[in-house]
Structure 1
Amino acid sequence: MIQRKKNLPEPERPYERCLALGPQVLTDAELIAVVLRTGSKNKGSVEMAHEILKLTGDEPSLADIDKFSIGELQAVPGVGKVKAIQLKVMYEFSRRLWKSRLKERLYFRDSTDIAAYFMEDMRHLDHEELRILYLDLKCRFLGVKILSVGTLKSTLFSTRDIMIEAFRLGAARIVMVHNHPSGDPKASEEDIASTQRVVIAGTIMDVMLLDSIIIGDGVYTSLRQNKRISW
């Protein structure tokens, strides 16, 4: 039986354990409980945290909570709009902190590095997005721009806009990254055709397209390895 936080002995309460031993000793449920701050009338914050973790399946996963929308999180009894927002903001804060630290030393060696950088941001999107990664001659990070937000199945973009941003940032190399909401990163005919258009434009403008990467659910496809495109 899971005890309510206020009924726990003081040394076992998440706040007290964190103060005494540090946040690294807290369980996943206790971390969530600290973010939630309070429970509900009939349920303590630790118990509520366990209920939230149950959303992720038989093997509770802290990382998978981020898949759920604010509305879906509110389906857990006692989780109102404010608590759901607190959870979503916690994950967004973690992403931004991770990326801000990466930018200080960010250098992309290959498609695996690029896919890893975008995977957690894009794998659970319910619509298609195209993002352009801008790099210098040594493949060091210059910036990322969301060029297009589409529907469930497609996104439209302008090759001209890609090149304008490349010139603004002084980028010598670019990478196209988009997701498939289905979770299957297999390239479509349109994916191949649109990539080929950017290859041609980049050749004319002296901005090299290094790759076009499709993000699926935990997997990706690199069109650099697709022999149907002339690089």
Structure 2
Amino acid sequence: MARTPQLSEAAGLFALTPVGEEAPPGHLGHRDRLRRKLLDAGPDALADYELLELLLFFAILRRDTKPVSKAMVERFGSFANVLAAPPEALKEVEGVGDAAVAVIKAAQAAALRLLRAEATEKPVLNNWDRLTAYLQAAMARDSIEQFRILFLDTKNRLIADEAQARGTVNHTPVYPREVVKRALELGATALILVHNHPSGDPTPSRADIEMTAEVKAAAGVMGIIVHDHLIVGNGRHLSFRREGLL
């Protein structure tokens, strides 16, 4: 007779546990040892697959998570790349279902919120390293080009961080009139433009340079300053202002 799935109290909404299924020998002991390693030695003592194992404990209750974790790190290359991977790609790894994807995406969201809070705790122009670290985490590993805008007030504090468009692997349509319209709606007096290059190379294209000039001109008519345009690649970025392109 088929066993009826029952929602596990330990996992909340993250897993369905079959009634009566027993954990394999040594399974719980391994989990306890890994938790203790984290608490006693700190996260730097854990390999990428071990850190991923700890996350998967909340989603996969009744089986060994080490093979799944190792397979994911091998497939995507690192713990960070696993967090950033699209849900459909994650589920191509054997043993990864909706519960595991939910936990991984929750961890990614938590990391991004922490980085964003640190980047915007003071005027962004005075917090440039943290800002670029946040943008790297948010955009560098995306396989599709996206364009986002940081809207700033008169003291260069962040009002809003919004994705304006998503395109293809090498192009995102941007409409200067819509950018300015949104800035006026938010009461922004300055902007930082940001987009990613999925290729990893942040070198601007001719279209990037022309689009930036158009946005700057349209914003200038309304008294809105474009502080910079950042192109984010994998592990590096390019500043239009620093390169004399703005």
Q: TM-score, normalized by length of structure 2?
A: 0.75
Residues 45-77 of structure 1 show CA distances to partners (whole Å, capped at 9, x for unaligned) of 2343333333344xxx32232243333333433
Q: Could you say which residue in structure 2 is the equivalent of 1:65? A: 82
Residue aligned with 1:55, SS: helix
Compared CA separation, residues 187 and 150, structure 1 to 2 (3 A) = same
2:212 aligned with 1:195, yes or no? yes
Compared CA separation, residues 12 and 148, structure 1 to 2 (3 A) = closer
Residue aligned with 2:241, SS: helix
Compared CA separation, residues 202 and 82, structure 1 to 2 (3 A) = same
Residue aligned with 2:53, SS: helix
Q: CA separation in 2, counterparts of 1:16 and 1:128?
A: 38
Length, aligned pairs only: 222
Residue aligned with 2:125, SS: coil
- Among candidates 85, 110, 120, match of residue 137 of structure 2: 120
How far did residue 111 of structure 1 move? 5.6
2:205 aligned with 1:185, yes or no? no
Q: CA separation in 2, counterparts of 1:13 and 1:158?
A: 54
- Among candidates 69, 72, 78, match of residue 52 of structure 1: 72
Q: Could you say which residue in structure 2 is the equivalent of 1:219? A: 236
2:146 aligned with 1:94, yes or no? no
- Among candidates 157, 162, 174, match of residue 140 of structure 1: 157
Identity %: 27
Contact 2:159 2:188 (8 Å CA) reproduced: yes
Structure 1, unmatched stretches of 5+, are none
Q: CA separation in 2, counterparts of 1:178 and 1:215?
A: 6
- Among candidates 26, 34, 50, match of residue 54 of structure 2: 34
Q: Could you say which residue in structure 2 is the equivalent of 1:79? A: 96
Residue aligned with 2:126, SS: coil
How far did residue 33 of structure 1 move? 2.6
Compared CA separation, residues 155 and 9, structure 1 to 2 (3 A) = closer
Give the stretch that moved more between structures: 153-162 or 187-196: 153-162
